[in-house]
Amino acid sequence: MQRPEVNEYHPNYQKYFDLIPSGDYLKLLSQNTTETADFFAAIPPGKHDDCYAEGKWSIKEVLMHIIDTERVFAYRALAAVRGDKAPVYRMDEELYAGNVDVSNRTMADLISEFKTVRSGTEYLFTNITDEHSERLCNVVTYPMTARAIGYFMIGHVLHHVGVVKDRYLNIRQ
């Protein structure tokens, strides 16, 4: 699947696309899955519930946000490739984060959920033709092609892994 052009997604998403290396999309997606799971698994248990500032998400909540966003964007990609023209509204990430409790969940459990959800994404994109990847999802704020959605999913994860490294673990990149 070809990398999307800048007119296939909202300009505010450029920061996510800038993080994605060159290469075959499905290989990048698989590599991103493995590296993300390994990264979160290596975080010491004593840090899982840490927040870097008042009102910010814990590390486990960041991973839950990644999982929720993956589900929402996978639906958007499915809607695009199936030709569904119904409007799709923006995801209120604070609403989602405020309505989930990860305090009693383990990091291993969240990682397992991430890998399960990502597996569905990988199956979806394995079977999308180049022609279908150019179809638009009618996101009300700014339509996106299916392939832009697929690449966004990688960049979104890379962004949040970078935030955790920098602000939670003090690992300078």
pLDDT at 166 over 80: yes
Rounded alpha-carbon distances, angstroms, from residue 142 to 59, 145, 157: 30, 10, 21
In a domain, 130, yes or no: yes
Rounded alpha-carbon distances, angstroms, from residue 35 to 28, 42, 60, 76, 154: 10, 11, 16, 24, 11
Nearest Cα residue to 56 out of 111, 101, 107, 98: 98
Task: Identify the domain containing residue 18 by its residue range.
Answer: 6-168
Per-residue pLDDT tens digits for 36-78: 999 999 999 999 999 999 999 999 999 999 999 999 999 999 9
Q: Give me the percent of the chain exceeding a pLDDT of 70.
A: 99
In a domain, 65, yes or no: yes
In a domain, 158, yes or no: yes
In a domain, 66, yes or no: yes
Q: Give the pLDDT of residue 61.
A: 97
pTM above 0.85?
yes
The structural domain count of the chain equals 1
Please, are residues 145 and 135 in contact by the beta-carbon 8 Å criterion? yes
What CATH number did the domain enclosing 39 receive?
1.20.120.450
In a domain, 173, yes or no: no
In a domain, 107, yes or no: yes
